[in-house]
Amino acid sequence: MSGATTRTPRHYDETGLLMPTRIGANGHRCYEEHQLLRLDALLGTVSRTIARRAGAGRDRRLRDHPAELSRRTTALGYR
């Protein structure tokens, strides 16, 4: 859903931004749906920041990510 690499949630866990519900014996972090929505929101904030600095008019994916995130969370009933 979020398109994040495995390093992103690991970093967010280490910094306390997003703690997994549990960590499996294999080291995989397990998240609930509301946590994945938070991860998407965090990534959307990062995308908007990058877009502003990079001139998002040239990069449609960065520009449109926050709108797509909003559409998905609304469809799930979280807004």
**What single-letter amino acid sits at 40?**
D
The 10 Å Cβ neighbour count of residue 51 is 20
**Per-residue confidence in pLDDT tens, the chain, 79 aa:** 456 677 887 888 898 888 899 999 998 888 888 888 877 777 777 767 766 666 655 556 666 677 777 777 778 776 5
Q: In the prediction, which pLDDT does 49 show?
A: 72
**Alpha carbons 39 and 11: distance in angstroms, whole number:** 12
